C-alpha cells in the first residue's frame, strides 16, 4: 500500500514527496520540542512566583533567586515560542502587501521574506553563540549558573529560524508548496 503525502491527495508517494514528508515531520518535531520546553519553563516560572509569594508573606523570608530565575526563563519562553511561531509562519509579520497581490507574486514575496529571515536567523545564531562563549565564564547572581545560559535560547531561535525559513524558501524554489502556504491559502 502506497502512502500519500497530505498535500498530494491520494496519489502514491514518490521519493521526492517521501523526502519532503520526512523533512516536514522532522521540522514539526523541532517545533513541538520548542513548545514543550517553553511550556515547561512557563510552569516553572509560575511555580517559582508562587514560592516567592509564599516565602514573602507566609515565611517572611523572600527568596531572592526568583527574580534571576524568572529573567532566565522568560528568555527561553520567548525565543523558543518565537521559533515555533516562525515554523508555523504565524509569527509577527506585515502581510497586507503580500496578500494584496495574486498567488504568483505572493509566492515571490514569501520567498524573499523567507530568505531574509534565513539570513537574519544565521546572523542571530552567530552573534548569540558568541554571547554564550563570552558569558560562560561569569556566573548569574544568586543562581550560580553560567551567564552564557541567557543567550542559548537566542542562538537556538536563530538557528531554527534559519532552518525553518530556509527550507520553506528552498521548497518554493523547487516548485514544491510548503505546508504553511497551503494552510494560509485555504484561510484567506
Summarised one tens digit per residue, pLDDT across range 64-98 is: 999 999 999 999 999 999 999 999 987 666 677 77
Q: Under 8 Å CB-to-CB from 156, ≥6 apart: which residues?
A: 34, 79, 80, 83
Stretch 155-165: mean pLDDT, rounded? 97
Alpha helices per DSSP H over the chain: 15-57, 65-87, 96-100, 103-135, 152-173, 179-186
List the grid coordinates of 38.
Answer: 517553553
State the pLDDT at residue 4.
45
Give the C-alpha separation, 186 to 181, whole Å.
8
Give the dihedral sign, CA 81/86/91/93. Answer: positive
**pLDDT for 101 beyond 70:** yes
Q: How many CB atoms lie within 10 A of CB 37?
A: 17
Q: Specify the pTM.
A: 0.82
- Least Cα distance to 168 among 152, 187, 186, 184 occurs for 184
Instruction: Categorize the per-residue pLDDT at 99 as very low, low, confident or very high, splitting at 50, 70 and 90.
Output: confident
What values do phi and psi take at 22, rounded to 5?
-65, -40
Stretch 13-40: mean pLDDT, rounded? 89
State the pLDDT at residue 187.
46
Instruction: Categorize the per-residue pLDDT at 106 as very low, low, confident or very high, splitting at 50, 70 and 90.
Output: confident
Burial of 67 (0-12, 13-18, 19+ CB in 10 A): middle
What values do phi and psi take at 87, rounded to 5?
-60, -45
What percent of the chain is predicted at pLDDT more than 70? 85
List the grid coordinates of 27.
Answer: 521540522
Lowest mean pLDDT among 28-32, 85-89, 107-111, 125-129: 107-111
Q: Would you say 121 and 160 are in contact if contact means Cβ atoms under 8 Å apart?
A: yes
DSSP state of 92: S
Q: How many CB atoms lie within 10 A of CB 185?
A: 12
State the pLDDT at residue 56.
93
List the grid coordinates of 86.
Answer: 516562525
What values do phi and psi take at 142, rounded to 5?
70, -10
Instruction: Categorize the per-residue pLDDT at 54 as very low, low, confident or very high, splitting at 50, 70 and 90.
Output: very high
Give the C-alpha separation, 14 to 153, whole Å.
37
Amino acid at each position: 500500500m502506497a502512502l500519500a503525502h497530505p498535500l498530494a491527495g491520494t496519489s502514491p508517494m514518490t521519493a521526492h514527496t517521501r523526502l519532503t514528508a520526512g523533512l516536514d515531520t522532522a521540522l514539526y518535531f523541532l517545533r513541538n520540542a520548542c513548545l514543550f520546553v517553553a511550556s515547561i519553563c512557563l510552569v516553572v516560572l509560575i511555580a517559582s512566583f508562587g514560592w516567592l509569594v509564599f516565602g514573602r508573606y507566609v515565611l517572611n523570608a523572600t527568596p531572592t533567586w526568583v527574580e534571576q530565575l524568572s529573567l532566565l526563563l522568560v528568555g527561553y519562553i520567548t525565543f523558543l515560542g518565537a521559533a515555533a511561531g516562525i515554523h508555523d509562519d504565524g509569527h509577527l509579520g506585515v502581510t497586507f502587501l503580500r496578500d494584496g497581490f495574486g498567488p504568483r507574486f505572493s509566492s515571490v514575496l514569501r520567498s524573499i521574506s523567507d530568505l531574509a529571515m534565513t539570513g537574519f536567523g544565521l546572523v542571530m545564531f552567530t552573534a548569540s553563540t558568541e554571547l554564550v562563549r563570552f558569558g560562560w565564564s561569569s556566573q548569574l547572581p544568586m543562581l550560580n549558573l553560567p551567564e552564557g545560559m541567557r543567550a542559548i535560547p537566542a542562538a537556538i531561535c536563530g538557528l531554527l529560524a534559519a532552518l525553518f525559513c530556509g527550507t520553506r524558501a528552498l521548497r518554493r524554489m523547487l516548485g514544491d508548496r510548503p505546508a504553511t502556504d497551503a494552510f494560509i491559502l485555504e484561510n484567506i
